[in-house]
């Protein structure tokens, strides 16, 4: 079992709809969780992080964390073609110090 | 790119040659990381540094060495490049401050091809 798992996609979403991305992790003691967006040929860009159970909203993005079920999700509201990218989930496992473990990413395609 | 540059941005080299990639930051962050990104494997940590002259191995460190003689520079060396090291290499930085949670910020990447 991979430490951080994501569905590779592609997740096809109509413009204006909500894109829902999920990420599960294996280390129950993980402390902080990150979502990165990566456009093709570019570097990962941090868009959200969350460290406590519940929801965290930033503009059109909402991160949701459920530590008991060991998953973190990202919702993109009012999806735009510019949201088409690969979204990487990253987790800071308890014993990893300052290191992050990344999932393989979910590719999102927003169709006009 | 949070004050992070990588050089070179693209490099083609031959099997068996040494290669050094450079990461330079202007943020004075303590932590620096080298990752490689390959299709089907995502981002994997090669080496990281938690201060000048303080480095440690990541999950895919075989065939790579690093050095950090100054806060702002973190060098990744492939002693004898192999075709399996063809990849995109990203440098990242972070700082652990009160109220922060080890957010890592990435450089623009170096595309390395080993023929």
pLDDT in tens, B67-108: 999 999 999 999 999 999 999 999 999 987 666 667 899 999
d(CA A106, CA A87): 5
d(CA A7, CA A110): 16
Confidence of residue B36 (pLDDT cuts 50, 70, 90): very high
d(CA A31, CA A90): 11
Which residues of chain A lie closer than 8 angstroms to B109, CB-CB? 42-43
What is the per-residue pLDDT for B68? 97
Greatest alpha-carbon pair distance for chain A in Å reads 44
Residue B41 has pLDDT above 90, yes or no: no
d(CA B60, CA A35): 23
Which residues of chain A lie closer than 8 angstroms to B108, CB-CB? 42-43
B57 touches chain A (CB under 8 A): no
Residue contact B104–A34, C-beta within 8 A: yes
Residue A1 has pLDDT above 90, yes or no: no
Residue of A nearest to B111 (CA): A41
The stretch A4-21 carries a mean pLDDT of 96
Q: Chain A, 40-59: which have a CB under 8 Å from a chain B CB? A: 42-46, 49, 51
d(CA B92, CA B105): 5
Strand partners, A57: A62
The stretch A59-66 carries a mean pLDDT of 96
Q: Which residues contact A41 (CB under 8 A, 6 or more apart)?
A: none
Residue B113 has pLDDT above 80, yes or no: yes
d(CA B40, CA A92): 21
B27 touches chain A (CB under 8 A): no
């Amino acid at each position: 079992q991979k430490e951080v798992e994501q569905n590779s996609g592609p997740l096809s979403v109509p413009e204006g709809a909500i894109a829902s991305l999920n990420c599960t992790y294996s280390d129950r003691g993980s402390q902080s969780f990150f979502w990165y967006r990566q456009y093709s040929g570019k570097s990962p860009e941090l868009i959200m992080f969350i460290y406590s159970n519940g929801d965290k909203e930033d503009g059109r993005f909402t991160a949701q964390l459920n530590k008991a079920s060991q998953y973190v999700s990202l919702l993109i509201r009012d999806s735009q073609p510019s949201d088409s990218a690969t979204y990487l989930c990253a987790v800071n496992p308890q014993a990893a110090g300052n290191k992050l473990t990344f999932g393989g990413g979910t590719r999102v395609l927003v169709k006009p | 790119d949070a004050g992070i540059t990588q050089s070179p941005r693209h490099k083609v080299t031959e099997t068996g040659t040494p290669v050094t990639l450079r990461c330079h930051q202007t943020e004075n962050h303590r932590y620096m990381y080298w990752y490689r990104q390959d299709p089907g494997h995502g981002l994997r940590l090669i080496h990281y540094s938690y201060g000048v002259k303080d480095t440690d191995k990541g999950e895919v460190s075989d065939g790579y060495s690093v050095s950090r003689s100054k806060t702002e520079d973190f060098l990744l060396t492939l002693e004898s490049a192999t075709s399996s090291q063809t990849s995109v290499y990203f440098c990242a930085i972070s700082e652990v401050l009160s109220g922060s949670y080890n957010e890592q910020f990435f450089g623009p990447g170096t595309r390395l091809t080993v023929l």
